[in-house]
Amino acid sequence: MTQTAPYDWVWTHANLCIDGVELIEDGMLAIADGRIAFVGKSHPGPWRAKTHIDAQGLWVSAGLVDCHTHLVFGGDRSLDFDLKTQGVSYADIAAQGGGIRSTVAHTQACSEEALVDSALGRIDALIDSGVTTVEIKSGYGLTLADEIKMLKAAKRLESLRDISVVTTYLALHALPDSHRQQRHQFVEAVTQEWLPEIAQSKLCTQVDVFCEQIAFTPDECRRVLQQAQRLSLATKVHADQLRQFGGAQLAAEVGALSADHVEYTDEAGVKALAQANTVATVLPGAFLMLQEKQRPPLQLLREHGVPIAVATDLNPGSSPLTSLTLAATLARAQFGLTAHEALQGITLNAARALGLADRGQLTVGARADLCFWAIRHPRELSYWLGQRPPVSRVFNGQVALGDFRDRVIPPPK
């Protein structure tokens, strides 16, 4: 091992989850300048470190990545859930002022500051579950000013917490009441006016659409996604959640980073995703809360080599889920993911779903976003139903020394 300067931090006698599949027991991990500098078996050197910690058998994974959330919103939908459990239909809930329009009304009524304040508790919960990178979508504003407000609030969270935030403009989510008879005009305004202004303001790096029979057609979504590409923005698609509607094929056609939900995606859609190298993101929280029956085509995704990511889909209506490790557990219990697939789904493949090649695995040169876990085996990360926070969470190379208490090894005299 060639080393010209001391590492900032070295952990020995650690168990390493390299990429969700490869495991190294009694390993060594070193970081320097906020990057991973060495990963391998523990050995005596020669090497130098500013701080040397005996991990004493802790398991280490890459920091977790939540690649699909709607974390910024006003109000909540707990009343909707209460009514639903009493047998009230979604249509009747909406007629009583509930549903997505309730969230839109509350979001529009909130100031940017109020949106930030309400989101802090939710992002803190994700951080507690080991998340170091989170994607946050707009989509509840439904006016240009309110969409911008949401994106600004999402970006501000990054300055208030030790977490990377990837902002996504959910350009087509729902049709505003003001455009019930002007659907074409709304899509045109989003495509030709709103999207260019948001892109110019650099408030997002990605654009998403809800391609579904109850939302927007593939043709409408295609117009927005192609405009996003012209503006050098990455794309994502809410695809085939409620029926096979061509969402996965659309995602593949435009080279989207991910197609999300994919419960009803057929083999043609899966093959298209594979050819486009598009990630399929499964969202078990929404599947649970909506009491869906159609599971994602897991075996087809495996057979055709489509990367599978797992996310919370944290939102007030269909997935009020604030733990990414719980999302991984639900993905295993409901969809049949293996422990390796679940761990890759919240690290390596989740990073791929956001176009981030510098995180999601323990490899030299990657960002030093890490989680240290007091577990016997990594499969426990997608086993427990309750929150089991990491012993320590390292963000961008910043280590809380107190987390390791008596594990620091004094330098030789």
pLDDT tens digits for 144-160? 999 999 999 999 999 99
Residue 146: phi and psi, rounded to 5, are -75, -30
C-alpha dihedral, 219 to 222 to 224 to 227, nearest 10°: -130
Number of domains in the chain: 2
269 contacts: CB under 8 Å, gap ≥ 6: 239, 240, 244, 246, 247, 248, 249, 252, 259, 262
Rounded Cα gap, residues 314 and 334, in angstroms: 18
Distance between CA atoms of residues 196 and 17, nearest Å: 41
Residue 4 has pLDDT above 90, yes or no: no
CATH number of the CATH domain containing 179: 3.20.20.140
CA 142-79-126 angle, 5° bins: 70
Asked whether residue 53 falls in the same domain as residue 87, the answer is: no
Residue whose pair of structure tokens reads 């959910």 in the numeric block:
170
Kindly state whether residues 377 and 264 are assigned to the same domain: no
Q: Rg (Cα) of the chain, in Å, rounded?
A: 22
pLDDT-based confidence at residue 319 (cuts at 50, 70, 90): very high
Do residues 43 and 111 both lie within one domain?
A: no
d(CA 272, CA 357): 22
Identify residue 317 by its one-letter amino acid code: G
Residues 6+ apart with CB under 8 A from 131: 63, 64, 65, 66, 163, 324
Q: Which range has highest mean pLDDT (40-49, 125-134, 385-394)?
A: 125-134
Q: Does residue 379 sit within a domain? A: yes
pLDDT digits (tens, 9 = 90+) for 175-197: 998 888 899 999 999 999 999 99
Say yes or no: 207 and 322 in one domain: yes
* Average pLDDT of the segment spanning 213-229: 97
Quick one: pLDDT at residue 2? Answer: 58
Average pLDDT score over residue span 97-116: 94
Query: What digits encode the pLDDT tens for the residues 57-86?
Result: 999 999 999 999 999 999 999 999 999 899
Looking at the structure, do residues 72 and 55 belong to the same domain, yes or no?
no
Same domain, residue pair 45 and 102: no
Q: What pLDDT sits at residue 371?
A: 98
User: What backbone torsions phi and psi does residue 35 show, to the nearest 5 degrees?
Assistant: -125, 155
Given 3-state DSSP classes, what are the helix, strand and coil percentages for the chain, each rounded to the nearest 5?
40, 25, 40
Instruction: Note the pLDDT tens digit of each residue in 289-316.
Output: 999 999 999 999 999 999 999 999 999 9
- Does residue 360 surpass a pLDDT of 90? yes
Q: Span 132-151, mean pLDDT?
A: 98
Domain membership flag for residue 201: yes
Q: Identify the band that residue 388 occupies on the pLDDT scale cut at 50, 70 and 90.
A: confident
2 inside domain: no
Give pLDDT, residue 177: 87
> Minimum mean pLDDT among 105-119, 168-182, 224-238: which range?
168-182
- 51, part of any domain: yes
- Flag whether 386 is in a domain: yes
In angstroms, the CA 136 to CA 389 distance is 22
Spatial distance between the Cα atoms of 208 and 168, rounded to a whole number of angstroms: 7
Judge whether 230 lies within some domain: yes
Q: φ, ψ for residue 161 (rounded to 5)?
A: -140, 155
- Shared domain for 154 and 248, answered yes or no, is yes
Q: For all residues of the chain together, what is the average pLDDT?
A: 95
User: Is there a single domain that holds both residue 210 and residue 316?
Assistant: yes
Q: Are residues 46 and 76 in the same domain?
A: no
Which CATH number belongs to the domain containing residue 57 in this structure? 2.30.40.10
SS3 331: helix
CA–CA–CA angle 231, 350, 301 (5° rounding): 100
**Residue ranges making up the domain that contains 28:** 7-61+361-409
Q: What is the pLDDT of residue 89?
A: 80
User: Is the domain of 223 the same as that of 158?
Assistant: yes
Q: Note whether residue 1 is domain-resident.
A: no
